[in-house]
């Protein structure tokens, strides 16, 4: 049994576990590396420790200083526990969209959690990054980790994760599969494995289908910590400096539903409770393994535990409400789809007169709800809820068109998302929003009005949205 003199000595040294039932019928050996065995519960503990030690060494972070980072959660947890142990103040900037479990864990270490939910491009003055940079500028002794561009990120995995995999497989690993995200894990571990094997090990990048890394449209996804998002108003798609593109041999794109299904299935078949980004890696690994032989060994890095996502990916109510597959819902009641109308879209930057002409040509009625969305250039999927900035109607647009300008939301209230297969909403108060977004697979496919919900079922009709 290992004994550590501090919590920092606990970071790293995670095991390999062979998949049995999940990989049944596949010829190669498939091992997972459960990174939640780190003290903070994720692979990001390695990077956080490496980046912080590097900052101490070069003088960027001095005793009594403040550790600052922008994160989707796990890196913030890593910094929070390390800062607590070493006596630094820590301030984490993140969004309320991340799992509540992550936010609670960050706060438990005494870290100051600053939630920023403005949906703006990276370099906008109100963005997460801009607010963090402004805080650092105004706070003496503050250090911004900048995990996406920090060389200490990949270095952590070159010096620990990669060597562990090589040693624990006795040098037999042939394929390494990991999600991309900041690029640190796959770049560092992948580079080590390629060097030590003289190029024999193939590195597979697993990413959400929307990620621009795999040629996706850059739109938002529901899998935290993986992929690369590009704000619809951004003028450039800037990739992290921590990502070494030359290390990755192949990419596998995985949609949110398959990733969620994979981790839910893994818990039931192999007793391994993994997070959503692990599902992306598992799907990619099993797809890769179908073309391999008994001589191959696949190692899949699982970034964090499913314990952090019990309120989301493992919660049937959440799955149904976001339009993903769920199983614990009473579908005897009329479903939302029976009362919804297919989503009609106009772009916020679209000239008013052009929007009015287009909707008239499409024969959209004057009182039909029309969603106002961010610029749709390069977007190929239905909108993510974050793309929607409000709603209006053709009648309101026609009145506004007498004034030069572009489309602006006119509807006073927009409700939260409702799953397409959710039972009909009861007790909906107009104060909650006169219009709600109807989601299928997390994407906006229809709208539901308060009036439609409060019609008698017989009068509601059957305008079910085509899936």
Residues tagged active-site = 44
State the DSSP code for 205.
Answer: E
| Half-sphere exposure in the Cβ direction for 448 (13 Å, CA) | 33
- Give the torsion sign (CA, 37, 39, 40, 46): negative
> What per-residue string of b and e applies to 219-244 under the rule 16 or more CB within 10 Å gives b?
bbbbbbbbbbbbbbebeeeebbebbb
Residue 454 Cα distances to 91, 210, 279, 406, 460, angstroms = 46, 36, 39, 33, 9
Structure tokens at 397: 């647009």
- Contacts of 218 by beta carbon, 8 Å cutoff, 6+ apart: 210, 211, 212, 228, 229, 230, 237, 378
- CA dist., res. 105 & res. 73, Å (int): 9
Residue 255 Cα distances to 8, 222, 277, 443, angstroms = 35, 9, 11, 12
- CA dist., res. 414 & res. 437, Å (int): 8
CB 371 within 8 A of CB 396: no
Look at residues 329, 279, 325 and name the one whose alpha carbon lies nearest to residue 306.
279
DSSP 39-97: TTSBTHHHHHHHHHHHHHHHTSS-TT-EEEEE-SSHHHHHHHHHHHHHT-EEEEEE-TT
Pairing verdict, β 435-440 and 414-419: parallel
- CA dist., res. 431 & res. 166, Å (int): 58
- CA dist., res. 189 & res. 162, Å (int): 4
């Amino acid at each position: 049994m290992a004994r550590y003199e501090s919590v920092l000595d606990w970071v790293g040294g995670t095991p390999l576990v062979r998949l049995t039932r999940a990989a049944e019928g596949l010829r190669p050996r498939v091992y997972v590396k459960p990174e939640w065995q780190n003290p903070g519960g994720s692979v990001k503990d390695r990077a956080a420790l490496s980046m912080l030690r590097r900052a101490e060494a070069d003088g960027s972070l001095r005793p009594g200083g403040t550790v600052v980072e922008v994160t989707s959660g796990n890196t913030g947890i890593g910094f929070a526990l390390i800062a607590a142990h070493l006596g630094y103040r820590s301030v984490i900037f993140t969004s309320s969209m991340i799992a509540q479990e992550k936010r609670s864990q960050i706060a438990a270490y005494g870290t100051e959690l600053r939630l920023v939910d403005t949906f703006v491009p990276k370099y906008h003055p109100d963005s997460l990054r801009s607010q963090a940079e402004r805080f650092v500028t105004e706070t003496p002794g503050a250090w911004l980790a900048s995990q996406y561009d920090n060389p200490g990120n990949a270095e952590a995995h070159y010096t620990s994760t990669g060597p562990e995999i090589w040693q624990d497989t006795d040098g037999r690993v042939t394929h390494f599969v990991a999600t991309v995200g900041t690029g640190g894990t796959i770049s560092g571990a992948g580079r080590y494995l390629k060097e030590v094997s003289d190029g024999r090990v193939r590195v597979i990048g697993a990413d959400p289908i929307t990620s621009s890394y795999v040629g996706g449209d850059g739109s938002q996804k529901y899998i935290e910590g993986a992929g690369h998002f590009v704000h619809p108003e951004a003028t450039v798609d800037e990739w992290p400096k921590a990502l070494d593109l030359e290390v990755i041999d192949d990419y596998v794109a995985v949609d949110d539903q398959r990733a969620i299904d994979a981790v839910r299935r893994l818990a039931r078949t192999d007793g391994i409770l993994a997070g959503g980004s692990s599902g992306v890696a598992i799907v990619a690994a099993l797809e890769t393994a179908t073309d391999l032989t008994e001589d191959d060994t696949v190692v899949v890095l699982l970034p964090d535990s499913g314990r952090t996502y019990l309120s989301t990916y493992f919660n049937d109510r959440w799955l149904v409400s976001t339009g993903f597959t769920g199983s614990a819902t009473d579908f005897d009641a009329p479903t939302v789809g029976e009362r919804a109308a297919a989503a009609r879209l106009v772009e916020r930057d679209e000239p008013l007169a052009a929007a009015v002409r287009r909707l008239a040509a499409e024969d959209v009625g004057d009182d039909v709800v029309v969603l106002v969305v961010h610029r749709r250039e390069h977007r190929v999927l239905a909108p993510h809820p974050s793309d929607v900035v409000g709603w209006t109607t053709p009648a309101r647009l026609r009145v506004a068109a007498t004034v030069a300008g572009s489309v602006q939301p006119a509807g006073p209230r927009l409700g939260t998302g409702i799953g397409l297969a959710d039972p009909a909403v009861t007790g909906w108060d107009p104060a909650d929003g006169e219009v709600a977004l109807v989601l299928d697979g997390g994407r906006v496919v229809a709208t539901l009005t308060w009036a439609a919900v409060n019609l008698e079922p017989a009068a509601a009709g059957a305008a079910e949205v085509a899936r």
